[in-house]
Chain A
Amino acid sequence: MTFALVFEQLLNGVQLGVMLFLLAAGLTLVLGIMNMVNLAHGSLYMVGAYFAISVSQWSGSYLLGVAAALAGTLVAGMLVEVVALRTLYQRNHLDQVLATFGLILFFNELMAILFGRSALFASLPSYLQGHIELFAGIRYPVYRAVVIGVGLSVAILLWYVVTRTRLGMLIRAGASNRTMVAALGVNIRLLYTVVFGFGAALAGLAGLMAGQIYTVQPGMGELILIQVFVVIVIGGIGSIRGALVGALIVGVVDTMGRAFLKPVLGSFLPTVAADTAAPALASMLIYILMALVLALRPAGLFQARG
Chain B
Amino acid sequence: MIKPFRRAAFWLGAALITSFAAALPAAAQQKLKIGFITTLSGPQGVIGKHMRDSVEMALEHLGGKVGGLPTEVVYGDDQFKPDVGVQVAQQMLQRDQVDIMSGIIWSNVMMATLPVITGAGKIMVGTNAGASPLAGAQCNELYFSTSWNNDQSPEAMGKHLQDIGVKELYVLAPNYQAGKDMVAGLKRYYKGNIVEELYTKMGQLDYQAEITALRAKNPKAAFIFYPGGMGIQFIRQWAQAGLRDQIPLYSVFTVDETSIPALKDTAVGQYEARFWSPDIKIPASQKYVADFRKKFGYTPSFYGAQSYDGIMLIDSAVKAVKGNVKDTKGMVAAMRKANYKSIRGEYKFNNNHHPIQDFYLLKAVKDSTAPEGVAMHIEKKVFEDHKDAYHQECKMKW
Q: How far is the CB of B372 from chain A (nearest CB, A)?
A: 11
From B45, B46, B199, B213, A5 is in contact (CB under 8 Å) with B213
Residue contact B201 to A283, C-beta cutoff 8 Å: yes
The complex places the Cα of A129 from the Cα of B241 at a distance, in Å, of 10
Contact with A along B1-31 (1 / 0, CB 8 A): 0000000000000000000000000000000
Measured CB to CB, the residues of A under 8 A from B are 2, 5, 8-9, 12-13, 15-16, 108, 112, 116-121, 129, 131, 139, 141, 143-144, 213-215, 217-219, 223-224, 255, 258-259, 262, 275, 279-280, 282-283
Q: Which residue of A lies closest to B298 (CB)?
A: A118
Residue contact A217 to B201, C-beta cutoff 8 Å: no
Residue contact A121 to B240, C-beta cutoff 8 Å: no
Residue contact A121 to B201, C-beta cutoff 8 Å: no
Residue contact B175 to A121, C-beta cutoff 8 Å: no
Q: Which residue of B lies closest to A121 (CB)?
A: B262
Between A and B, 21 residue pairs with Cβ closer than 8 Å are A9-B212, A117-B45, A118-B46, A118-B261, A119-B229, A120-B262, A121-B263, A121-B266, A141-B240, A144-B208, A213-B205, A213-B236, A215-B229, A217-B43, A223-B203, A255-B209, A259-B209, A259-B213, A279-B199, A279-B201, A280-B175
Residue contact A143 to B240, C-beta cutoff 8 Å: yes
Given contacts A118-B258, A121-B263, contact A213 B43 (CB under 8 A): no
Q: Which residues of B contact A213 (CB under 8 A)?
A: 205-206, 208, 233, 236-237, 240
Q: Which residue of A lies closest to B210 (CB)?
A: A258
Of all A-B residue pairs in the complex, the 9 with the closest CB atoms, nearest first, are A283-B201, A279-B199, A119-B262, A121-B262, A279-B175, A117-B45, A259-B209, A255-B209, A214-B205
Residue contact A112 to B45, C-beta cutoff 8 Å: yes
Q: Which residue of A lies closest to B216 (CB)?
A: A5
The complex places the Cα of A275 from the Cα of B240 at a distance, in Å, of 28
The interface residues of chain B, by DSSP majority, are classed as helix
Residue contact A279 to B198, C-beta cutoff 8 Å: yes
Q: Which residues of A contact B167 (CB under 8 A)?
A: none
Q: Which residues of B contact A117 (CB under 8 A)?
A: 42-43, 45-46, 49
Within 8 A of A (CB), among B262-282: 262-264, 266
Q: Which residues of B contact A215 (CB under 8 A)?
A: 229, 232-233, 236, 262
The complex places the Cα of A118 from the Cα of B44 at a distance, in Å, of 8
Q: How far is the CB of B217 from chain A (nearest CB, A)?
A: 10
Q: Which residues of A contact B213 (CB under 8 A)?
A: 5, 9, 259
Measured CB to CB, the residues of B under 8 A from A are 42-43, 45-46, 49, 175, 197-201, 203, 205-206, 208-210, 212-213, 216, 229, 232-233, 236-237, 240-242, 258-259, 261-264, 266
Q: Which residues of B contact A116 (CB under 8 A)?
A: 46
Q: How far is the CB of B209 from chain A (nearest CB, A)?
A: 5
Residue contact B262 to A214, C-beta cutoff 8 Å: no
Q: Which residue of A lies closest to B175 (CB)?
A: A279
The complex places the Cα of A118 from the Cα of B260 at a distance, in Å, of 10
Q: How many A-B residue pairs have CB under 8 A?
A: 93
Q: Which residues of B contact A279 (CB under 8 A)?
A: 175, 198-201
Q: Which residues of B contact A108 (CB under 8 A)?
A: 42
Residue contact A283 to B233, C-beta cutoff 8 Å: no
Taking A15-B208, A117-B42, A118-B258 as known contacts, 20 extra A-B pairs with beta carbons closer than 8 A to each other, sorted by chain A number, are A2-B216, A9-B213, A108-B42, A112-B45, A117-B49, A118-B262, A121-B236, A121-B266, A213-B236, A213-B237, A215-B229, A215-B233, A215-B236, A218-B42, A218-B43, A223-B203, A259-B209, A259-B213, A282-B201, A283-B175
The complex places the Cα of A218 from the Cα of B209 at a distance, in Å, of 25
Residue contact B233 to A214, C-beta cutoff 8 Å: yes
Q: How far is the CB of B93 from chain A (nearest CB, A)?
A: 28
The complex places the Cα of A275 from the Cα of B197 at a distance, in Å, of 8
Q: Which residues of A contact B205 (CB under 8 A)?
A: 213-214, 223-224
Q: Which residues of B contact A214 (CB under 8 A)?
A: 205-206, 233
Q: How far is the CB of A6 from chain B (nearest CB, A)?
A: 10
Q: Which residue of B lies closest to A259 (CB)?
A: B209
Q: Which residues of B contact A219 (CB under 8 A)?
A: 42-43
Q: Which residues of B contact A283 (CB under 8 A)?
A: 175, 201
Q: Which residues of B contact A13 (CB under 8 A)?
A: 209
Interface centre among B199, B203, B206 (most CB of A within 10 A): B206
Q: Which residues of B contact A8 (CB under 8 A)?
A: 212
Q: Which residue of A lies closest to B47 (CB)?
A: A117
Q: How far is the CB of A270 from chain B (nearest CB, A)?
A: 14
Q: How far is the CB of B216 from chain A (nearest CB, A)?
A: 5
Q: Which residues of A contact B233 (CB under 8 A)?
A: 213-215
The complex places the Cα of A259 from the Cα of B215 at a distance, in Å, of 12
The complex places the Cα of A141 from the Cα of B242 at a distance, in Å, of 9
The complex places the Cα of A8 from the Cα of B237 at a distance, in Å, of 15
Q: How far is the CB of B70 from chain A (nearest CB, A)?
A: 31
Q: Which residues of A contact B242 (CB under 8 A)?
A: 131, 139
Q: Which residues of A contact B45 (CB under 8 A)?
A: 112, 117
Residue contact B206 to A121, C-beta cutoff 8 Å: no
Q: How far is the CB of B6 from chain A (nearest CB, A)?
A: 42
The complex places the Cα of A143 from the Cα of B206 at a distance, in Å, of 14
From A9, A217, A258, B200 is in contact (CB under 8 Å) with A258
The complex places the Cα of A262 from the Cα of B170 at a distance, in Å, of 15
From A121, A217, A259, B264 is in contact (CB under 8 Å) with A121
